[in-house]
A and B are shown apart, each in its own frame.
Chain A
Amino acid sequence: MADVIKNKYDFAVYFDVENGNPNGDPDAGNMPRVDPETGHGIVTDVCIKRKIRNYVDVVKEDEKGYNIYIKSGVTLNAKDKTAFDNFNIDEKSIKEAKKKDGDIDRKIRDFMCENFFDIRTFGAVMTTFVKNGLNCGQVKGPVQFSFARSIDPILPQEVSITRCAVTTEKDAEDKTNTIGNKFIVPYGLYKAEGYISANLARKVTGFSEDDLELLWNAILNMFEFDHAAARGKMAVRKLVIFKHSSELGNAPSYKLFDTIKVHKKDDVEYPRQFSDYDFSVDTDALPDGVECIIK
């Protein structure tokens, strides 16, 4: 196992969508999420975290220590779980075990963190096992994501489609095809910001340098295994990482994010591709003790 991370990180992910729906809004009939006031597109933090979990699940398939707690479509890999480490506690006597071992809560927490990449990274809520006096509580993971927001306002479009097959026989009697619809964003460049706390990694979950490397890969490739009819073409364009030289950080995060400049090029009215944007990081403006890595 590699060492637990020792530096604070702030990072910004820039990803774009072409003719797809990056994140549907269940409140608006699955239309792309839009800030109603500004027209900017939104992608929720949980949407991004879902993709990171899926990526890790695919590349680390059942490798020890890289299980994913919150899975989607598990039936495919609902195979025998490897035997987990054993702390020799009799199941029927949790109460006694608790008396004997006041540390059982922490052991359960550590066990989950060791085995599950997503708990080590994002944290999890464990049940308060009141009856037996167990309280594993909340595990705060070191990695924190904010909502992603598009650089410019987006214009969601409704595209009507037809299909020539009909689902039920009753329907088939009076029609030959059905009409459906999907929503697309012709183009949108989004930015999500993230934070990694080295303190939580060291004191709570043990998020390591290896895990960090895997996280960067997962972010860079999160859309590669996520192609679907609804998504269109999505890709991560830039990942800007600010590595602080210390555990607590060397500068306020928002000042670092301000050094990234992303603008539509002057002659572009309606951006339709990443090259319609000027992208730069003012590395000269970075304070001492902060290293910028652009991937």
Chain B
Amino acid sequence: MSIMLEVFGEYAAFNRPELKTERMTYDVMTPSAARGILDSIYWHPGMKWHPDKIYVLSPIKHTNIRRNEVKSKISARNVKSAMLGKKSELYIDAQSDIQQRAALVLKDVHYVIEAHFDMTDKANPSDNPGKFQDIIRRRIEKGQCYNQPYFGCREFPVNFRKWECNYIPTAYPNETKELGLMLYDMEYSHDGEITPTFFNAVLKNGVLDLNDCEVYR
């Protein structure tokens, strides 16, 4: 069961894990970002999305954005003591806890995601691929989603619709681009331990083929 989903938007940031403080995007959408987009349209514990191919329809363009951000995160310890009725300052002062960070992001992105899903052992007895397929088809046709999907960061919303044509005109029809080692996805199967996995990304004729790619841990 495979679907073809056209996604487009003004900006995207698929951040490289090795360049995190000053964020820098990968040149194309990562498989995990594609999965995130599909997950926010439809997901169920009984299924797992597998992106097969990512077609790049617009040329890769970058832009730079620097923003004021806060340094800290909510500390569970402070919350707990506040929950116990202790007087603790439960907020972040954005003016003293400030940090300016730049982000190199993609501009005017347009992709087609080819993906399929597998059933998992968490599926209910009444679930079957046909049922999930129908739900997904209806959601995409109506533009429905669990939450608005996004390109890497929530401020970069995704517009989506079904891709109907057989032919997909990519921005790089006769080129092979070596994109280097790229994040494949996060591996959640080991309890409490989340490990990233990587693969060697090659954009061939504007298509990132994820089938049979070797994944490194």
Could you list 21 A-B pairs, sorted by A, with CB under 8 Å?
A: A26-B66, A27-B64, A35-B63, A67-B90, A68-B91, A69-B90, A72-B94, A73-B95, A81-B90, A89-B83, A91-B80, A91-B81, A108-B83, A144-B147, A144-B150, A144-B157, A146-B155, A147-B10, A200-B147, A248-B139, A249-B142
| B95 touching A72, Cβ below 8 Å | yes
- Please tell me the number of chain A residues within 8 Å of chain B, measured between CB atoms: 66
One of A26, A71, A80, A197 near B93 (C-beta < 8 A): A71
B40-79 contact mask (Cβ, 8 Å, vs A): 1 or 0: 0000000000000000000000011111111001111101
Which residue of A is nearest B140, CB measured?
Answer: A252
Asked whether any CB of chain B lies closer than 8 Å to the CB of A85, the reply is yes
The interface of chain A, by Cβ under 8 A from chain B, is 25-27, 33, 35-37, 44-46, 50, 67-75, 78, 80-81, 83-87, 89, 91, 94, 107-108, 111-112, 115-116, 124-127, 129, 132, 134, 136, 140, 142, 144-147, 149, 193, 195, 197, 199-200, 246, 248-255
Question: Which 10 A-B residue pairings sit nearest by Cβ, starting from the closest?
Answer: A252-B143, A197-B147, A129-B76, A195-B148, A45-B155, A248-B144, A27-B66, A254-B159, A126-B74, A72-B94
One of A36, A107, A253 near B159 (C-beta < 8 A): A253
Assuming A144-B148, A252-B160, is B92 touching A71 (CB within 8 A)?
yes
| A74 touching B80, Cβ below 8 Å | no
| Chain B residues in 8 Å Cβ range of A37 | 63, 107
| Chain B residues in 8 Å Cβ range of A132 | 76
Interface contacts beyond A83-B85, A111-B79: sample of 16 additional A-B pairs, CB < 8 Å, sorted by A:
A25-B66, A46-B155, A50-B94, A69-B90, A70-B91, A71-B91, A72-B95, A74-B89, A74-B95, A81-B88, A81-B90, A129-B76, A142-B147, A197-B148, A251-B143, A252-B143
Bound together, the chains give a CA A115 to CA B85 distance in angstroms of: 13
| Chain A residues in 8 Å Cβ range of B100 | 26
Interface residues on B, range: 35 or more
Asked whether any CB of chain A lies closer than 8 Å to the CB of B116, the reply is no
Which residue of B is nearest A149, CB measured?
Answer: B10
| Chain A residues in 8 Å Cβ range of B145 | 197, 248-249
| A70 touching B66, Cβ below 8 Å | no
| A125 touching B73, Cβ below 8 Å | yes
Number of A-B contacts (CB under 8 A): 164
| Chain A residues in 8 Å Cβ range of B66 | 25-27
| A125 touching B148, Cβ below 8 Å | no
Of B88, B100, B146, B156, chain A has the most CB atoms within 10 Å of the CB of: B146
| A26 touching B68, Cβ below 8 Å | yes
Shortest distance in angstroms between B103's beta carbon and chain A's nearest beta carbon? 10
| Chain B residues in 8 Å Cβ range of A25 | 66
Asked whether any CB of chain A lies closer than 8 Å to the CB of B168, the reply is no
| Chain A residues in 8 Å Cβ range of B74 | 69, 112, 124-127, 136
| B83 touching A69, Cβ below 8 Å | no
Which residue of A is nearest B102, CB measured?
Answer: A27
Bound together, the chains give a CA A248 to CA B144 distance in angstroms of: 5
Bound together, the chains give a CA A200 to CA B157 distance in angstroms of: 16
Shortest distance in angstroms between B93's beta carbon and chain A's nearest beta carbon? 5
Assuming A69-B74, A80-B87, is B79 touching A145 (CB within 8 A)?
no
| Chain B residues in 8 Å Cβ range of A107 | 83
Bound together, the chains give a CA A113 to CA B69 distance in angstroms of: 21
| Chain A residues in 8 Å Cβ range of B64 | 27
Which residue of B is nearest A36, CB measured?
Answer: B63
One of A73, A136, A193 near B157 (C-beta < 8 A): A193
Bound together, the chains give a CA A39 to CA B120 distance in angstroms of: 49
Bound together, the chains give a CA A107 to CA B155 distance in angstroms of: 28
One of A26, A69, A127 near B76 (C-beta < 8 A): A127
Asked whether any CB of chain A lies closer than 8 Å to the CB of B82, the reply is yes
| B147 touching A126, Cβ below 8 Å | no
| B82 touching A127, Cβ below 8 Å | no
B5-42 contact mask (Cβ, 8 Å, vs A): 1 or 0: 00000110000000000000000000000000000000
